[in-house]
């Protein structure tokens, strides 16, 4: 691997603090994939602040966009850095949060001591706060240097601003914009169980576990378990895993996973033409996501059901505006959510027919069988659709106002008949055509431009006549449960499983199937697998790679 | 530049300063703001050069934008007509293309990457910095913002500015938010009669050293790829430190600087009337920001490369029209596409007019700008990468000749990026990779 | 008018309400019920910008204040000083207010006692057309009656329109004319007041002509606006407010896509922002159902003119100057034009013919889950 060779070259020329025996190790043979250093997502940042400082601390400002890699934002997290405008924003957010924490309204509850003189520095009190808070923010105890450094920041700032609390706030803000907070690192240590291999150190394990199950930083109990070495024993690890899965907080983790997998971040920039789809307002977009997430968590966590049932269940939850888009009456308590079951035979079965799927994968002005078929393949079945060739001859797709082409099926006729198009389109369009009963806004319709719709289609040989039939086809497709297993593992790892992790993934898929596709069991199995915590040997770059920027010279 | 005492511990200095001593004690750090790359700002001579990009999606209708002859332009072709008033301050480049060298054509992607980074990537992941960041590293290091990016169609990821591969520098999508960012509480009016440095600013500046230290120790445990990402973090941190340093110092007065009125929240989306409105607000804000010395590099993305622009009540987006609308048998081009291009070029004209309307002495803000347009395709219907339209506006403080049509048939679009870097002072004689690599400056426009 | 069908492009969507989904089989005469929620309500004031007010429009508030204050004996300089920063909102003193409030006899509140001032005079509508209904049955022979602009029915009685139709802010200009004052008030009001519901029961189905029963009720919920912001969101569910004050049943008929109905008495609680309620005697309604299920129509009848007058006057000078509606003039005009229900002692008509335009969108109606036994029994007693 290129970066290992480069690191080796650098290391060979420099003093290292690590044993030379490790220089010979090759990532792959040692087991585990490449290290991933992941930036916190917006939701994770907010969750940390809420967990640490309470829900009354407001987190305002704009976060850097996350990016999607290989189907998940959780994997893009290891590709993103922090741009200049991004750091400007992190700085604003950090100062804002810190100012609230040290404010008169909050200091008594959030700061565990009082300074001797509020107008002057107090290293002892500052140290106590920064040490405890820093441990939770960096997800491990601070080193002596780190603590000393931050106490000094608080001290200098308190002198400069003539106020202990302002000074403390400045120090806290610098921690909230530090890479040690914003990025999750995987610190490797030798694996005592498997000589020659490496595993994450206890704190990295705690983070790995906590972000996976709860989408949050490790809570005090988990950190304490890490400190005691409990996470390095199978029974100690299992105890924490079971605690966390039994907790209501696992709902948040499961919701975060499916929000990522189903691509709900695209809702932020989803546009629907308000003249063509007057019902589709921003509340609909928001509620639609909530509906799908509630359907999923109800099936998987509350009813502890079969994963595949999320594709076929007619039981869901609706808000008043969603009911209006679906065209069904709904009396909800105080205008909130009420359970709703679509009648037997209704085409609205499962999450594929829900607004969050059909409206998300459509154009602003009309539906798109191709986009929907592609989404079923890529999002739900983990099957890659090749990118379209650049030199497509679009003159074949005639004028859409042509009276001959009233429905999407007719307009996409060329996809099916032209040889260059059909190769790829036949793996998408026949699926999406089954969803044509749902317009771009997600409402049920029987006709388009006056012509009755034909919603028949097929998925890999399984034929159906309507969306409920498509739902069953997805339910019965073995790729669906396999896909969610791979996604869950990738989500937790922050990368695609490496080649020598294939057996592990296969065993996860087999257990998932044998156990009746129970999602909590899958979470447990992943979280208790040693594979989940395996990493390559620690990086040997004792010196920084030479930077091109002259300004760094100045800084030193 | 006066050498900086590397041993000076900022925090030590800070104590002394805020103990009542004058701000000037800290000057050794601040000397570098006497601009040696151009002009001293203090005495009001020639103002610093400005570089910018203006991106739109889907190119133009071939045959309808290229001027008739190379050389001095007599008139503009029909799709550039909205820019007619600026004919003498702009250049048009025709015939240039993106070379794939056998790589797959990443539609709406490969072309713009070739144009702005000099490299057509192998897949759909860019891996080279865009020209504006290379230029910002030279001319943008002494302003409050190294660069400013705006995205008019509501998505920060539409920005084409990137420092390294994976992610773009996100653009502002809300004019109201941009107003607050530039002219809000942290703005220092260069023309204000009195200036009181806020002690908190220096405290914050000093505190950031601890973050820089964090990055150093953090880097030690990273692999090379992750190190590169943290390099970008460090650049961003330097940018933040610099902002604070500038905030602590009285800025030189700028006659053309006026603070615009507060901008209220406006709707954000891809519907073209909304995009136009936001673009116009952004244009005004950026012009004021430039006149007030807040930045020297501005990047505008009118829409995404795929151009999700749409008309209210319409079922198809600009992009869908580009593929689905037949070429009119009589007119010989796609009429709805022409409509969208006309709207876009009219907005580009508005942007240039806005820059041209700010008087600076006997010249205008536009005169010290060198704005480079970019687009993703030469012929949208077929994702064609031939003959990609490119324009520049302004002479960049006299560094560029204007009013010229350069017909460079079959040449790589990277020639313009190379030329712009050179006139901006980036020490580069060759730029790009594979067949996009070029060392041929477009000498016709270099003054 | 705030919204038109042209804003809603043909959707070609079939509305399926739960109750009828199973029943929509071509060819049967099965009973159908459809419900709607009112999205828009405004005074039925027709205007083409020309022929409705050939004598001109009533003057603006600053002008009639000048006139009235002069008549009340104030000197020119006093008046000009008082009106210098007219109207002077937002913290500035309003010196003209106490003067205009007592401009009748310098003592009594002229809005509570309009007869303390001489009739300032109201320019009234003299055009040919008006929305509304033939309430007195006299047809074209009815004095000062109008012709309905859409159906061309003659003998339309709408004296309220005659009175207020040449007040600038009340004129129902065609597009691109700006909305009238009542339209603006309604636009604010509809977000905060309980919605109005209409349910139509068609025993022979909506595809066939025949008799229908029409029910009006208030809802517990307010409307939700759709993505355009101008119209109520269709297919929302509303619970019926069991309060009998706003429960009305009408007999009517459906012909094609036009539904008409009548009731000897009809009342719906509204809001003092416009007027506290609309209480019709001899209520008529007509509405047209479009292909996408939306409704446009007119409701009309006689209503007590004092309710209308106090709908303005209870805010004193505020509606007077904001809408340039000379309130004493309005009082005298309403009194003069009132055309129904004479007081047995004085002979003064107590009610005035009027009409309103409505627009509505499809809705689901459900019984209230907040019913109380008392409300139920009151409903039954009615």
Does the beta-carbon distance from A324 to C236 stay under 8 Å? Answer: yes
Tell me the mean pLDDT in the region B217-234. Answer: 86
- Provide the strand spans (E) within chain C: 32-43, 146-147, 154-156, 196-202, 210-218, 236-239, 248-255, 258-271, 275-289, 295-304, 340-342, 349-366
- What three-state secondary structure class fits C147? strand
Residue A101 has pLDDT above 90, yes or no: yes
Residue B104 has pLDDT above 90, yes or no: no
Residue C76 has pLDDT above 70, yes or no: yes
Confidence at residue B193, expressed as pLDDT on a 0 to 100 scale: 84
- Provide the strand spans (E) within A315-360: 315-318, 338-341
> Which chain A residues touch C229 with a CB distance below 8 Å?
274
Least confident of B223-227, C1-5, C33-37: C1-5
Residue A425 has pLDDT above 90, yes or no: no
User: Which structure tokens are listed for B280?
Assistant: 């116009």
Does the beta-carbon distance from A549 to B207 stay under 8 Å? Answer: no
Nearest C-alpha of chain A: how many angstroms from B114? 16
Write out pLDDT tens, residues B3-14.
Answer: 333 333 333 333
Confidence at residue B179, expressed as pLDDT on a 0 to 100 scale: 96
What is the torsional sign of CA A495, A496, A499, A501? positive
Tell me the mean pLDDT in the region B376-383. Answer: 90
DSSP output for B357-426: TSEETTEEGGGGEEEEEE-S-SBGGGTB-SS--EEEES-TTTTB--SEEEE-TT-BTHHHHHHHHHHHT-
- C4/A291: higher pLDDT: A291
Say if B9 is an interface residue toward chain A (CB within 8 Å).
Answer: no
DSSP H helical ranges for A54-143: 73-76, 84-101, 104-110, 123-138
Confidence at residue B302, expressed as pLDDT on a 0 to 100 scale: 98
Bond before C87 cis per omega within 30 degrees: yes
Question: Considering chain B, what is the average pLDDT of its residues?
Answer: 87
> Which chain A residues touch C369 with a CB distance below 8 Å?
331
Confidence at residue A502, expressed as pLDDT on a 0 to 100 scale: 93
Tell me the mean pLDDT in the region A396-410. Answer: 63
Share above pLDDT 70 across residues of chain A, in percent, rounded to a whole number: 88
> Which chain C residues touch A334 with a CB distance below 8 Å?
none
Q: How many beta-carbon contacts under 8 Å exist across A and B?
A: 249
Residue C211 has pLDDT above 50, yes or no: yes
Confidence at residue A255, expressed as pLDDT on a 0 to 100 scale: 98
d(CA A427, CA B421) in angstroms, rounded, equals: 46
Residue B437 has pLDDT above 50, yes or no: yes
Tell me the mean pLDDT in the region A319-333. Answer: 92
Nearest C-alpha of chain B: how many angstroms from A311? 29
Question: Considering chain A, what is the average pLDDT of its residues?
Answer: 87
d(CA C96, CA C73) in angstroms, rounded, equals: 14
Confidence at residue C23, expressed as pLDDT on a 0 to 100 scale: 40
Tell me the mean pLDDT in the region B45-71. Answer: 93
Does the beta-carbon distance from A170 to B210 stay under 8 Å? Answer: no
How do beta strands B369-374 and B50-55 pair? parallel
- Given pLDDT bands bounded at 50, 70 and 90, which one contains residue B225? confident
Residue C255 has pLDDT above 60, yes or no: yes
- Given pLDDT bands bounded at 50, 70 and 90, which one contains residue B163? confident
Confidence at residue A447, expressed as pLDDT on a 0 to 100 scale: 86
Nearest C-alpha of chain B: how many angstroms from A543? 7
Eight-class DSSP state of A317: E
Does the beta-carbon distance from A335 to C235 stay under 8 Å? Answer: no
Eight-class DSSP state of C150: T
> Which chain A residues touch B243 with a CB distance below 8 Å?
88
Residues of chain B with CATH 3.40.720.10: 47-180+259-445
Q: How many residues does chain C have?
A: 382
Eight-class DSSP state of C134: -
pTM: 0.84
Q: What angle do CA B173, B176, B181 make, to 5 degrees?
A: 85
Write out pLDDT tens, residues A447-501.
Answer: 888 888 889 999 999 999 999 999 999 999 999 999 999 999 999 999 999 888 9
Write out pLDDT tens, residues A165-200.
Answer: 999 999 999 999 999 999 999 988 888 878 888 889
Spatial CA neighbour of B442 closest among B425, B419, B408, B422:
B419
Confidence at residue C51, expressed as pLDDT on a 0 to 100 scale: 94
Q: State which of A404-408, A416-420, B123-127, C332-336 shows the largest mean pLDDT.
A: C332-336
Least confident of A23-32, B132-141, B323-332, C115-124: A23-32
List CB contacts of C84: < 8 A, sequence separation 6 or more: none
Nearest C-alpha of chain A: how many angstroms from C267? 26
Least confident of A105-114, A281-290, A411-420, B162-171: A411-420
Confidence at residue B12, expressed as pLDDT on a 0 to 100 scale: 33
Share above pLDDT 90 across residues of chain A, in percent, rounded to a whole number: 70
Confidence at residue A403, expressed as pLDDT on a 0 to 100 scale: 58
Nearest C-alpha of chain C: how many angstroms from A343? 11
Which residue out of A324, A326, A344, A436 would a mutagenesis test of the C interface target, given it has the greatest number of C Cβ atoms within 10 Å? A324
Spatial CA neighbour of B219 closest among A108, A544, A26, A232:
A544
Residue A392 has pLDDT above 80, yes or no: no
Tell me the mean pLDDT in the region A150-160. Answer: 96
Longest CA–CA span in chain C (Å) reads 78
Confidence at residue B126, expressed as pLDDT on a 0 to 100 scale: 84
Residue A76 has pLDDT above 70, yes or no: yes
Tell me the mean pLDDT in the region B343-365. Answer: 95
User: Which structure tokens are listed for A194?
Assistant: 């498997």
DSSP H helical ranges for A271-412: 282-297, 320-326, 355-358, 369-375, 408-411
Say if A18 is an interface residue toward chain B (CB within 8 Å).
Answer: no
Tell me the mean pLDDT in the region B130-155. Answer: 94
Tell me the mean pLDDT in the region B301-312. Answer: 94
- Given pLDDT bands bounded at 50, 70 and 90, which one contains residue A9? very low
Confidence at residue B348, expressed as pLDDT on a 0 to 100 scale: 98
Confidence at residue A420, expressed as pLDDT on a 0 to 100 scale: 76
Least confident of C22-31, C133-142, C173-182: C22-31
Say if A186 is an interface residue toward chain B (CB within 8 Å).
Answer: no
Residue A537 has pLDDT above 80, yes or no: no
- A352/A364: higher pLDDT: A352
Confidence at residue C177, expressed as pLDDT on a 0 to 100 scale: 79
- ipTM field: 0.83
Say if B156 is an interface residue toward chain A (CB within 8 Å).
Answer: yes
Spatial CA neighbour of B269 closest among A274, A346, A181:
A274
Identify which of A278, A447, A448 has the shortest CB distance to residue C226.
A278
Confidence at residue B4, expressed as pLDDT on a 0 to 100 scale: 33
Confidence at residue C313, expressed as pLDDT on a 0 to 100 scale: 92
Residue C329 has pLDDT above 60, yes or no: yes
- The domain defined by B47-180+259-445 folds into Alkaline Phosphatase, subunit A (3.40.720)
- Given pLDDT bands bounded at 50, 70 and 90, which one contains residue C62? very high
CA distances (Å), A218 to each of A465, B301, C369, in order?
48, 40, 45
């Amino acid at each position: 691997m290129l970066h290992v060779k480069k690191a080796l070259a650098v290391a060979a020329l420099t003093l290292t603090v690590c044993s030379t025996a490790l220089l010979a190790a090759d990532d792959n043979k040692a087991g585990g994939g490449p290290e991933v250093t992941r930036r916190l997502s917006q939701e994770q940042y907010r969750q940390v602040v809420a967990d640490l400082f309470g829900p009354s601390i407001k987190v305002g400002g704009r976060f850097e966009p996350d990016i999607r890699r290989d189907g998940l934002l959780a994997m893009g997290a290891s590709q993103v850095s922090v741009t200049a405008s991004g750091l400007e924003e992190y700085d604003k957010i950090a100062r804002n949060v810190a100012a609230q924490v040290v404010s008169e309204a909050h200091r008594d509850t959030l700061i565990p001591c009082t300074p001797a003189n509020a107008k002057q520095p107090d290293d002892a009190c500052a140290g106590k706060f920064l040490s405890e808070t820093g441990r939770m923010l960096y997800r491990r105890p601070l080193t002596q240097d780190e603590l000393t450094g931050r106490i000094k920041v608080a001290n200098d700032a308190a002198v400069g601003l003539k106020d202990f609390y302002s000074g403390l706030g400045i120090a806290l803000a610098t921690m909230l914009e530090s890479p040690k907070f914003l990025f999750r690192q995987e610190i490797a240590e030798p694996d005592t169980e498997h000589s020659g291999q490496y595993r994450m150190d206890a704190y990295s394990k705690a983070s790995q576990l906590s972000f996976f199950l709860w989408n949050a930083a490790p809570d005090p109990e988990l950190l304490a378990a890490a400190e005691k070495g409990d996470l390095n024993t199978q029974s100690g690890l299992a105890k924490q895993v079971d605690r966390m899965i039994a907790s209501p907080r696992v709902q948040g983790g499961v919701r975060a996973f499916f929000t990522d997998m189903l691509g709900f971040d695209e809702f932020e920039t989803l546009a629907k033409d308000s003249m063509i789809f007057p019902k589709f307002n921003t509340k609909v977009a928001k509620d639609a996501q909530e509906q799908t997430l509630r359907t999923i968590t109800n099936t998987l966590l509350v009813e502890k059901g079969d994963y595949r049932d999320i594709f076929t269940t007619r039981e869901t939850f609706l808000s008043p505006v969603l009911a209006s888009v679906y065209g069904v009456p709904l009396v909800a308590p105080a205008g909130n959510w009420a359970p709703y079951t679509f009648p037997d035979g209704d085409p609205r079965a499962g999450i594929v027919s829900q607004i969050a799927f059909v409206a998300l994968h459509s154009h602003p002005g009309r539906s798109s069988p191709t986009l929907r078929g592609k989404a079923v393949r890529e999002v739900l079945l983990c099957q890659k659709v090749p990118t379209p060739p650049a030199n497509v001859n679009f003159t074949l797709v005639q004028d859409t106002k042509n009276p001959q082409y009233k429905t999407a099926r007719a307009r996409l006729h060329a996809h099916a008949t032209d040889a260059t198009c059909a190769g790829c389109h036949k793996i998408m369009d026949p699926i999406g055509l089954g969803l044509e009963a749902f317009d771009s806004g997600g409402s049920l319709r029987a006709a388009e431009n006056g012509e009755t719709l034909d919603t028949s289609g097929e998925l890999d040989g399984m034929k159906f006549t309507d969306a409920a039939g498509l739902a069953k086809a997805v339910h019965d497709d073995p790729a669906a449960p396999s896909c969610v297993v791979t996604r869950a593992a990738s989500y937790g790892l922050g990368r695609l499983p490496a080649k020598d992790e294939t057996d592990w993934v296969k065993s996860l898929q087999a257990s998932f199937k044998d156990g009746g596709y129970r999602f909590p069991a899958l979470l447990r199995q992943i979280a208790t697998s040693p594979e989940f915590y395996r990493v390559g040997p620690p990086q040997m770059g004792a010196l920084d790679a030479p930077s091109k920027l002259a300004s760094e010279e100045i800084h030193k | 530049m006066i050498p900086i005492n590397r041993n000076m511990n900022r925090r030590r200095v800070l104590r002394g300063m805020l103990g009542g001593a004058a701000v000037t004690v800290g000057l050794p750090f601040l000397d570098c703001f006497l601009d040696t790359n151009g002009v001293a700002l203090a005495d009001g001579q020639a103002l610093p050069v400005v570089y910018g990009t203006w991106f739109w999606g889907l190119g133009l209708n071939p045959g309808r934008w290229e001027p008739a002859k190379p050389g001095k332009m007599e008139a503009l072709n029909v799709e550039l007509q909205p820019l007619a008033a600026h004919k003498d301050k702009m250049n048009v480049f025709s015939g240039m293309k993106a070379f794939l060298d056998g790589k797959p054509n990443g539609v709406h992607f490969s072309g713009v990457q070739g144009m702005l980074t000099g490299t057509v990537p192998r897949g759909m992941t860019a891996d080279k910095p865009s020209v504006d960041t290379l230029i910002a590293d030279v001319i943008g290091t002494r302003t409050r913002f190294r660069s400013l990016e705006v995205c008019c169609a509501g998505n920060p990821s539409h920005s084409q500015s990137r420092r390294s591969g994976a992610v773009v520098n996100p653009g502002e999508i809300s004019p109201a938010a941009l107003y607050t960012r530039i002219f809000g509480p942290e703005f220092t009016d260069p023309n204000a009669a009195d200036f009181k440095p806020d002690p908190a600013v220096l405290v914050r500046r000093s505190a950031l050293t601890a973050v820089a230290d964090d990055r150093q120790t953090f880097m030690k445990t990273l692999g090379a790829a992750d190190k590169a990402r943290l390099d970008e973090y460090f650049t961003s941190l330097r940018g933040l430190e610099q902002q604070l340093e500038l905030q602590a110092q009285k800025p030189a007065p700028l006659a053309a600087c006026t603070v615009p009125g507060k901008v209220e929240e406006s709707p954000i989306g891809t519907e073209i009337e909304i995009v136009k409105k936001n673009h116009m607000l952004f244009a005004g804000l950026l012009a004021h920001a430039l006149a007030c010395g807040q930045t020297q590099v501005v990047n505008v993305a009118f829409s995404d490369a795929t151009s999700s622009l749409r008309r209210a009540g319409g079922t198809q987006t600009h992009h869908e029209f580009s593929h689905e609308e037949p070429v009119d048998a009589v007119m010989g081009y796609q009429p709805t596409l022409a409509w969208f291009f006309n709207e876009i070029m009219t907005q580009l004209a508005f942007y240039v007019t806005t820059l041209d309307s700010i008087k600076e002495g006997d010249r205008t803000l536009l005169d010290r700008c060198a704005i480079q347009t970019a687009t993703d395709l030469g012929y949208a219907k077929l994702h064609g990468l031939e003959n990609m339209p490119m324009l520049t506006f302004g002479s960049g403080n006299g560094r560029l000749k204007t009013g010229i049509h350069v017909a460079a048939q079959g040449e790589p679009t990277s020639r313009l990026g190379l030329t712009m870097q050179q006139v901006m002072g980036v020490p580069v004689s060759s730029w790009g990779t594979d067949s996009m690599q070029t060392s041929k400056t477009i000498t016709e426009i270099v003054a | 008018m705030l919204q038109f069908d042209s804003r809603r492009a043909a959707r070609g969507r079939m509305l399926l309400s739960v109750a009828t989904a199973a029943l929509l089989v071509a060819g049967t005469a099965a009973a159908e019920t459809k419900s709607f929620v009112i999205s828009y309500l405004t005074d039925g004031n027709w205007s083409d910008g020309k022929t409705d007010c050939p004598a001109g429009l009533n003057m603006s508030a600053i002008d009639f204040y000048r006139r009235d204050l002069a008549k009340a004996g104030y000197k020119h300089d006093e008046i000009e000083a008082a009106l210098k920063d007219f109207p002077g909102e937002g913290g500035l003193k309003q010196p003209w207010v106490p003067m205009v409030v007592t401009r009748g006899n310098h003592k009594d509140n002229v809005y509570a006692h309009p007869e303390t001032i001489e009739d300032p005079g109201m320019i009234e509508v003299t055009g040919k057309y008006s929305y509304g209904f033939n309430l007195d049955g006299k047809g074209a022979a009815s004095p000062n009656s109008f012709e309905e602009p859409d159906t061309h029915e003659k003998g339309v009685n709408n004296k309220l329109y005659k009175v207020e139709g040449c007040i600038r802010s009340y004129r129902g200009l065609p597009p691109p004319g700006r909305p009238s004052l009542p339209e603006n008030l309604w636009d604010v009001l509809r977000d905060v007041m309980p919605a109005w519901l209409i349910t139509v029961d068609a025993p022979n189905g909506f595809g066939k002509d025949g008799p229908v029963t029409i029910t009006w009720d208030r809802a517990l919920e307010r409307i939700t606006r759709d993505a355009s912001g101008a119209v109520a969101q269709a297919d929302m569910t509303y619970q019926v407010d069991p309060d009998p004050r706003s429960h009305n049943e009408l007999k009517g008929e459906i012909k094609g896509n036009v539904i008409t109905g009548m009731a000897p008495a009809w009342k719906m609680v509204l809001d003092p922002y416009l007027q506290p309620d609309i209480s019709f005697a001899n209520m008529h309604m007509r509405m047209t159902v479009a292909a996408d299920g939306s409704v446009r129509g007119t409701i009309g009848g006689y209503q007590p003119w004092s309710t209308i007058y106090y709908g303005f006057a209870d805010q004193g000078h505020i509606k007077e100057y904001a809408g340039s509606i000379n309130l004493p003039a309005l009082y005298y005009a309403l009194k003069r034009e009132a055309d129904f229900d004479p007081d047995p002692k004085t002979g003064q008509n107590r009610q005035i013919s009027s009409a309103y335009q409505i627009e509505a969108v499809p809705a689901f109606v459900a019984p209230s889950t907040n019913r109380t036994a008392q409300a139920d029994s009151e409903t039954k007693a009615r």
